[in-house]
Amino acid sequence: MLFSPIISLIIVIYFVYDQFEFSRVTKIRFLFLPFFCLYQFITKFNFTHIIDLISIIIILLLAIGIGFYQSRSFKDKVMKIESRYFFTDQNGQEVNAYQKALYARGGRTYLVGWILIFLISLFLNGDFNENFNFYKFAHALVKEIIADLAIFTKLTETGDDWRTWELLGFANLAYLMFIRRKSTAMNSFFKRRAHEEIKS
């Protein structure tokens, strides 16, 4: 898929802007990517030499470090949003009911960590070669941004090296673990059932 320079620029700007805006937290958003990537890692890994074991350990430690760094600027807040339900007040007027929802943003360190993961992934996949140029870099960047914004597009990207899947899987899993430790609201959100309310 090719993108015009203007469209590519708009996508990049929107992605950067989105990291500093609060968006509603969903379990699919935070759970799908790490577990899908780890599934790809497990199915693609083929131990052939001791260097593979060393690579696993190095990438694991790197992923945990990036995940921790990404969590440093994480912020969340509980917001009241209108629901589709109404109730009748004492004057007989219909009043819209509100429900509490958890919103979060990654912030600066999440964005920096995302860029690190992207660059390391290019290296692990062998993209940094004599044929690599700015246009290929820009295309890879926009493609990865779209995959981040629309996470289910990752289902079509199964050709990456197992080391890339390990990095993505453990970095995202570490990020989730660290923000759950940092935020009681996030920890409660992932423990509660879907019908339970968020406590402020």
pLDDT single digits (tens) 25-55: 999 889 999 999 999 999 998 888 899 999 9
CA Rg value for the chain = 20
- Can you give the pLDDT at residue 83? 63
Work out the average pLDDT over 182-193: 88
Tokens of 12: 């990049």
Higher pLDDT: 197 or 62? It is 62
- CA distance linking residue 137 with residue 68, whole number of Å: 26
Under the banding of pLDDT at 50, 70 and 90, the label for residue 195 is very low
- Can you give the pLDDT at residue 196? 46
| pTM of this structure | 0.83
Tokens of 53: 């074991």
Does position 156 have pLDDT exceeding 70, yes or no?
yes
- CA distance linking residue 92 with residue 94, whole number of Å: 7
List CB contacts of 63: < 8 A, sequence separation 6 or more.
Answer: 166, 167, 169, 170, 171, 174
The pLDDT tens digits of the residues spanning 118-129 come to 999 999 888 887
The pLDDT tens digits of the residues spanning 45-91 come to 888 889 999 999 999 999 999 999 999 999 999 887 766 665 565 66
- CA distance linking residue 41 with residue 19, whole number of Å: 27
- CA distance linking residue 191 with residue 145, whole number of Å: 29
List CB contacts of 135: < 8 A, sequence separation 6 or more.
Answer: none
Under the banding of pLDDT at 50, 70 and 90, the label for residue 5 is confident
What are the sequence ranges of the domains in the chain?
5-75+107-186
CA-CA-CA-CA dihedral for 92, 94, 98, 99, to nearest 10: 90
Nearest CA among 140, 136, 175, 138 for reference residue 37: 175
Sole residue written with tokens 């009241």: 80
List CB contacts of 110: < 8 A, sequence separation 6 or more.
Answer: 19, 70, 71, 73, 74, 175
Higher pLDDT: 83 or 151? It is 151
- Can you give the pLDDT at residue 90? 62
Does position 194 have pLDDT exceeding 50, yes or no?
no
- CA distance linking residue 99 with residue 110, whole number of Å: 28
- Can you give the pLDDT at residue 92? 61
- CA distance linking residue 103 with residue 182, whole number of Å: 15
